[in-house]
Each structure stands twice: as C-alpha cells, then as structure tokens.
Chain A
C-alpha cells in the first residue's frame, strides 16, 4: 500500500494554467490538495490527512466491473420473480416473493412505504447497476463515451448509500427468527439468488475505482471534442 500522490507544497500563486489544474486533485472529504502521479494496479493512494482512498486502480477493471454488474442484474431478476420464502404452519402454506414483500404495504395509507421499500431493494440497485454498465460498456471496447456518461456515473455514485439489498438480507434473517416459533420456513431459489447478489455487489464495489472511470470519461470526452473541432474547421 503506497500513496503515490504528492502533497502540493507550493500552490501556484495566481491564475494557474488549466493543464496544471488537470494534474491536481482535492480530497473530496477534507479538501487536501495533491498532485496526481501514476498509481499501479492494486496500489492505493490515500489522503494523508483524513485517510480517504483517493485512487485504487485494478487491472482490467472496466471489463470486470461490467461482468459483475451484469451478473448482479441477472441475479436480481431471478431474486425478484422467483419464490423467496415458503412458510408452512399447521397444514397451511404461504409463499412470498420479493415482489410480494414490496407490495405488502400496497393498500391505502401504507402505499408510500411500499414505494420506498421497492425503491430501496429493487429500483435503485437495478438503476445503479444499469447506469454503471451504460457508462463503462462503450469505453471498455475503446469507443467514445455515450452522451451524459459523466452525469450517469455521478448519479450511480450518489445512489450508492440508497441501494440496500444487503440490509434487506439481514432483515430476512431477522424475520426468519421471528416466525421460527410458529411456522417452518424454507428458503426458495430467490433467496439464494439474493445471497449471490450481495456477494457480487461486494466484489463489484471492491474493483470499482471512481478516479479511473472519471479519467477515462474525461479522456474520451476531450478526444471527442477535438475530433468535432477538427471536423468543424474542415467544413
């Protein structure tokens, strides 16, 4: 673990050139200013003041992130539609899917809660993964970024705390303990899909390095702009 960013000791006095600004980074958490230097894969650049991870590149990161995001999306589809838990008590059966859990509050005053639970465990995680695929898939193949890729990736980043699949899984465990006394509960295929989803999400967040993605977007964006300018000057 070695931080290869250098503390900026002598800030440019006045009107720094845009090219010089491109080499600077401010820690998003504490504003400490650094000059960026290349960071090797599996190394991490850490803010010396507050300890935030600034840069943590991984080899073949984009293809791995996309593979994990697509896997997570497939597992999510399975987790939503297949039976999740099967409850049996004195000869009676009840079966619930994740969709049923979302729709549990769908009557009357509880409708907003239904919407919130659906958003937190289905809509936001799925949207976040889709936005990441949208941002990275074209760039993985060396092509230009799609329009608004930067905004898409920023939204994906902002949605991260609101994507609560792993918390839902702990909720399931607690609910199982609560009904264990009165009924027998058997996990269905969707339960295992959901467990897989949580594992894949953890791996995904581990490979993800926002700074590499931002640099790639910026590079493609400026290449696109130069090409457009060249075309315009020729015309």
Chain B
C-alpha cells in the first residue's frame, strides 16, 4: 500500500530528497557520509565513474571472447582419434549425436547468452538516459536479466573440468582442456563484473 501519489509526478528518490541511499543495504544517509554505518559499503549518490568501469570490463571481456571461440575448448585423444573441439564444434557434435536438448542448452549458455550480454550491456550503457527504444522499466528489467543469467555461461567451463578429470585412461583415451577454456571463463567473469558495475539508479534519473 503506498501513500496517495499524484499521477505523473516523479517518484521521490533519495537523490531528489538530497540524501544518499546505500546500494548494498538500502539505509539512507545525509549527504557527505562516506561509508554506510550499517554494512560498511562506500556511499555515493551516483557514481560518476560507474559507466567507465562498465566499458572497461566490457572491452576486457570482448578481448578474451575471441580466443575463446577460435581456440579449442577440449583436446581429445583416443587410440583411433585425436581432435580438438571448439565451443561451436561441441554444439555441432552434440547435434550430430541427436542430443538436441543438450545441444540447445550449450548453444544457449555458451553462445546466445555471451553474445546477448555484450549487446545488452552496450545498449544499456549507450542509452542510459535515452528512453526512445526502451522505457525505464524495460531497461531496468533488461539489466536485471543480464545480471541474473550471465553466470550460467560458466556451464561449459565446468563440463570441460568434469570431462578432463573423468576421462583419463592414460594411453587409451584422455581429454584435456584447451586454451579456450580459460579465455571463456575470463570472458564470463569480466562481463559479470561489467554488468555489476552498472548503476541501475541512473536509468531512472531525470
């Protein structure tokens, strides 16, 4: 139940009241306070450098995203077969075996989510004050989805870790992680940090 509001009137915010809200725990402070007395988090009404950090992590994530797709994720050696599989190659192989559902899961987690995340963060960072394409609510929801779903890209890294530790029959069959495993893990971590650096309060500012 909220107190009666005038339709169309801007929502009162900590900032419009001349106060600072803690983004960790929600406690409100008088301007000039540097640390939250409740949780110890640093306070700022709006962090002017938040967007810089978003872009820095975004580019770092993009740089390591290319080797993650070009180099092998898995290096498989058996008596009769020796091969290297990339992320996309893994999806194609699963499709070939008829495992459509798992192929879809990996395609979603390893290709669709990372690419979508790069596009979504870039879009939000560029249009933070421009609500021509998406209104505030849609932008806020997009950011929440990116933050929630981004970590699921780590699935493929864990698959490689499990296969490499499980398939170890010395001369007969071994699976080893390739260089793409590490670049992909870094790419996921960097883009998670990029999404976390975003200050969603700025979406709503007039």
Contact = CB atoms under 8 A, between A and B. Distances in A.
To the question of whether A and B form a pair in one complex, the answer is yes
Nearest to A99: B165
Nearest to A111: B182
Nearest to A23: B28
B159 A178 contact: yes
Main secondary structure of the interface of B (DSSP, over half): mixed
A121 to B, nearest CB: 7
Contacts of A177: 94, 99, 102
Contact of A164 (B40, B151, B159): B151
Given A96-B162, A113-B181, A87 B167 contact: yes
B22 A26 contact: yes
Contacts of B168: 94
A26 B13 contact: yes
A30 B12 contact: no
Given A48-B2, A92-B172, A167-B152, A28 B165 contact: no
A214 B36 CA distance: 11
Interface in A180-214: 181-183, 185, 210-211, 214
- Most chain A CB within 10 A, of B12, B161, B201, B203, is at B161
A199 to B, nearest CB: 18
Contacts of A31: 13-15, 21, 201, 204
Contacts of A8: 12, 17
Interface of B: 1-5, 11-30, 37-41, 94, 97, 99, 102, 105-106, 137, 140, 144, 147, 151-152, 154-159, 161-169, 172-173, 177, 179, 181-182, 185, 189, 192, 196, 200-201, 203-204
Given A29-B200, A161-B196, 14 more contacts: A7-B2, A9-B5, A21-B29, A28-B25, A32-B11, A50-B200, A87-B166, A167-B154, A167-B158, A175-B163, A178-B94, A178-B102, A182-B173, A218-B37
Interface of A: 2-9, 11-12, 14-16, 18, 21, 24-33, 48-50, 54, 85, 87, 89, 92, 94, 96, 100-105, 109-110, 112-113, 116-117, 120-121, 150-151, 153-154, 157-158, 161-162, 164, 167-168, 170-172, 174-175, 177-179, 181-183, 185, 210-211, 214, 217-218
30 contacts: A3-B2, A24-B28, A25-B21, A25-B27, A26-B14, A28-B22, A28-B25, A31-B13, A31-B14, A33-B28, A85-B166, A100-B165, A100-B166, A104-B165, A113-B181, A113-B182, A113-B185, A116-B185, A121-B158, A154-B40, A161-B196, A170-B155, A171-B154, A171-B158, A172-B158, A174-B102, A174-B106, A175-B163, A181-B97, A182-B173
